[in-house]
Structure 1
């Protein structure tokens, strides 16, 4: 459960620093300790039996619960304004847990048509093996979403902003439509983070995160999280994580919690840099288009302003000369690193069509707006002048 001391009166900047670290200390420590243990001892056989029977609280085995991991869960739950959170080993472990713990044979999931590549592969290719139907739709279009909900799916799964097109879905509208047909709404909030957007407050039933990205912020650890408010969902999800062993390691959890303490500082800098670069790129002669929710010409700019407290650190843009232009750009960058992942203090750039989304057939990619000229940029905390200069010199190499 999220900590009672973390009240809604505290601002998000304060919560990022203190959430998860406010329980009674053992030795007065400011930073929670790492409980690097696989198992926990009992004072008696009776105590062990009582814990296994659920008659007494306490720790048994780290696959089930661990104090360090629980502290991280409390922190993320507080930031998302949820009442509980369940950690997982990776972002994909969190996503797979939600899908497999809540869906049964004969049921269906309606998902955003443009998702993180492995997420779409799991929904499109793996779930049908268990008799679970999958449907894909542009969730940024409420009319199309309402139409697909006529299939009566049990879950609606979406990203906003979407990876990598940066489309924005109206979460409140999606929640109303999903609930009208008895479906649960799950939102992947990795791109926005709870610093910029809290889907549970907008009506979503569950939020998932790849903690590997901005919440950790240092490109050095993997992790995932599921956050919600319904206790019944928590029991199903926690049981699945425990039984399948998708558990987070305590050292992993501590590193992510430590990274979260600087979330506000990192996000403020990265967001300012992202908006600056978006404005710079849309006026560059070698750039065909830019997609960033903070630009007034973004198709869902008004929705983004209404449901987000910041526009995030991610942007996509199209390079003239298409795939070849993108190759030239990335091969001549000196500061920005060519790599997948996102949300770290360093800026990362990649080409989705040949990297993160290469497993999708070209026709499917193009149908959802993932064109060959699309380049995805995760903007970091470097000096904006250096980032602009690096992009400019590399773009100018394009004929």
Structure 2
């Protein structure tokens, strides 16, 4: 499907569709753990990697493929690989390319479970982790004057809503030989495009806005074909952080209404933040798309939802 001039809302309805012989309107839910082979030779070739067909739903599933293709189209990424949760996406995005002796540079302001993963697992496995004040340009300059394997940030941060300078950090990361991975869950794929700003990969907890109604867990990793269909796919397929077909189907349907929901949420959030900012009982308020936020100009430049022209 040729997609360059289609809106995210159109992509959310018309990509990732693989209709069966029944020609159904709503995407099929393939609740199966395995798939039949036409011959012993086909099975042999599939397991040898000579052909790419569905073999086992821990490896790939048609419903999951539909979700991955749709989210990749909205994000503008070459590939997407879905995972069981947002934290499994963070873990795999980093763990699939980091090894003992590698250096990870991360912003200090990160989701609590991400920090726990770094401390309790990555450090124990011999990965060097250096933390940086995400909004200190000099700190990034110093940290990335030394080679690194990966730089990891989230923007806006959870919960303080700091907005990091993604293009600047991407430039410094690449100069240090590092890959920049951005947790974009707060902004959503409609509110910010890290890949267009210089990032190499994006991770999501699809549990949040992509589902949007508190029903299922899921995650996603997006980036280049080489990265996603290389180390990411290899790790998920073998260690088993696979999303279920049912959850993928729910998230697939969630993408269809993502634009309507997050635009309304962003507008309501701005109205509420504007009202709260004037309330006599509130001393301080941080909302990136209010002029009072310290990173307001950066937020307006990098993000595409929730601001006033």
Q: Which residue, 291, 296, 307 being the options, matches 1:296?
A: 291
Pair 1:255 & 2:250 matched: yes
Q: Which residue, 104, 108, 111 being the options, matches 1:113?
A: 108
Q: Displacement, 1:124?
A: 2.6
Cα contact 1:228–1:234 (8 A) shared by 2: no
Match of 2:223 in 1: 228
Pair 1:202 & 2:197 matched: yes
Q: Displacement, 1:203?
A: 1.0
Looking at structure 2, the residues matched to 224 and 270 of structure 1 have their Cα atoms a distance apart, in angstroms, of: 21
TM-score, reference length from structure 1 = 0.75
Pair 1:156 & 2:141 matched: no
Cα contact 2:81–2:228 (8 A) shared by 1: no
User: Residue by residue, what CA displacement relative to the aligned partner does 1:41-69 show, whole Å, maximum 9, x if unpaired?
Assistant: 11211111011112222110000010000
Looking at structure 2, the residues matched to 42 and 242 of structure 1 have their Cα atoms a distance apart, in angstroms, of: 20
Largest Rg, 1 or 2: 1
Cα contact 1:192–1:311 (8 A) shared by 2: no
What does residue range 52-201 of structure 1 map to in structure 2 within 5 Å? 52-201=47-196
Runs (5+) with no aligned partner, structure 1: 313-399
Q: Displacement, 1:232?
A: 4.1
Pair 1:16 & 2:12 matched: yes
RMSD: 1.3
Looking at structure 1, the residues matched to 241 and 187 of structure 2 have their Cα atoms a distance apart, in angstroms, of: 24
* 2:267 match: secondary structure: helix
* 1:173 match: secondary structure: helix
Looking at structure 2, the residues matched to 205 and 62 of structure 1 have their Cα atoms a distance apart, in angstroms, of: 27
Q: Displacement, 1:15?
A: 1.6
Cα contact 1:293–1:311 (8 A) shared by 2: no
Q: Displacement, 1:301?
A: 0.9
Looking at structure 2, the residues matched to 140 and 234 of structure 1 have their Cα atoms a distance apart, in angstroms, of: 32
Cα contact 2:222–2:228 (8 A) shared by 1: no
Q: Displacement, 1:24?
A: 4.4
Q: Which residue, 297, 302, 305 being the options, matches 2:300?
A: 305
Looking at structure 2, the residues matched to 163 and 18 of structure 1 have their Cα atoms a distance apart, in angstroms, of: 32
Q: Displacement, 1:26?
A: 2.9
TM-score, reference length from structure 2 = 0.96
Q: Displacement, 1:266?
A: 0.4
Deviates more, 1:12-21 or 1:283-292: 12-21
Q: Displacement, 1:195?
A: 0.6
Q: Displacement, 1:290?
A: 0.9
User: Residue by residue, what CA displacement relative to the aligned partner does 1:126-162 show, whole Å, maximum 9, x if unpaired?
Assistant: 2111000111112222221121123422110000000
Deviates more, 1:277-286 or 1:159-168: 277-286
Match of 1:49 in 2: 44
User: Residue by residue, what CA displacement relative to the aligned partner does 1:182-229 show, whole Å, maximum 9, x if unpaired?
Assistant: 000000010001111111111111100000000111111000000002
Match of 2:232 in 1: 237
* 2:285 match: secondary structure: strand
Cα contact 2:146–2:176 (8 A) shared by 1: no
Looking at structure 2, the residues matched to 273 and 89 of structure 1 have their Cα atoms a distance apart, in angstroms, of: 30
Looking at structure 2, the residues matched to 145 and 29 of structure 1 have their Cα atoms a distance apart, in angstroms, of: 51
Pair 1:266 & 2:261 matched: yes
How many residue pairs get matched? 307
